[in-house]
Structure 1
Amino acid sequence: MLEGDADIARTAALFADPARVRVLLALGDGRSLAASVLAGEAGLSAQGVSAHLAKLREAGLVTAERSGRHRFYRLAGGAPELLETLARHSPARPVRSLKEGTRAEALRTARTCYDHLAGKLGVMITTALLERRALVTVDGEPTTRRRERDRISAPLRDHPYELGPRASEVFGALGVDLAAARANRRPLLRFCLDWSEQRHHLAGALGAALSDRLLAEGWLRRRTTAHRAVQVTEAGRSGLRDVLGIT
């Protein structure tokens, strides 16, 4: 059977349903979740979430893994990048309540972008790593601000950073094992243009390792009121101030 152009409209139609988008956003931090948990986070019935998951699996946006009697779902392939791309191109939803306003502010302040940190916190950490020479730029512009060539709708094609002379010292103080991050099959350094801050934040294997470590150490905790939002704990405030000078 001959194949024509990509059927973009078919994929786009999957994102036209607000409830289905809530399911995808609930998976946007890289977690694998059971259908019952997804139903609660997306505000859907068990039957409703199952119908959405079936369509998302058929489109290759979600995969399922069975563990015991339960099946756990997670984003597949390029779905995380696609979600971030659509977020950058989409207007902000009107805030109709204090609860919605608090949730929106939480996402702008500190969130996970799939498996690494984003929002104001992610940008501040990346900036601090640059200031402390754990990262250095290679394009002559020593800031995290958007470059002219950066596409607002995608992770950076060209990454103007490399590890700096104090990388081992600074990341070590944060509890991140650089050797283990290097051994990961993923690229060590990747960067995204943060959709809410319009500045770069650290991604890649190193960004994921840093996010995992801060959560494991209790410097961050996940909020229950907003998908992907995280909160800096008192221990995190102290640690980030002492190691990175972030106040």
Structure 2
Amino acid sequence: MKAEILKQGINYSTSKKNYTKSKMYEFDFSTDIMVEENQDDGTTDQTILQYILGEKEKAYFSEEYLPVGMKKEGVKKPDITAMIENPVNKKLKWFIYDMKDTLKSTKVAMKLCGQWHEGIEHISNEYLETKSEYQIEDSVGVVTRCLNVKQLQEDVERYQQRISNSGNENKRLLTARKSLPKETEYRERIRCGQNIIDGIFDDYDESSGEKKQYKIHYIELAKESDSLYRAYMDIKL
């Protein structure tokens, strides 16, 4: 995995980004790094990554990571990709997180699951495949102001009903072929929404086809002022 060296002695926890989006950075010192998103209503969400490194440990960070040489069109990039490793005791932990102002619809859930999947694929192909001798811990999650499980469940049930109605209509009108694209989208909405509700992300490895499951971690963005929401994440082994 190609990575640039993050310079020590620079403040990375300010609104002024002292790093470049989509690049991967490597470093061997404790530091705070802020990922910030501005919302359409003029408010701001900030996540402070608090890297806590021990002796001989090194870490990685990228906002909206895109592997070198990969075209960005159509790629679903998670906001936060972070890794920390200890080459002495052969341990590492990786983090794939995204920031959402609210999480209460299957549309947002579907996008989030897509971002998790691609983020995991990127670090698996670029980084984890070279660490087979390491003890690996994972952390998949979302940083959000509001997780509304009730509204998400209602949206899941709405799309389940649409599939049911579509099935009955297809039997009468024999238009099943035309309805397939919509039904595929509805089933994906249901799957992703249910993942969020259950707290388990069902994924798969594109190379091997192996099914994977990850516990979903939820971090709340706390209101700091009328226009600012902030959360903190510890990045440590």
Interval of TM-score (by shorter of Structure 1 and Structure 2): under 0.3
TM-score (norm 1): 0.21
Which structure has the bigger radius of gyration?
A: 2
Structure with higher helix content: 1
TM-score (norm 2): 0.22
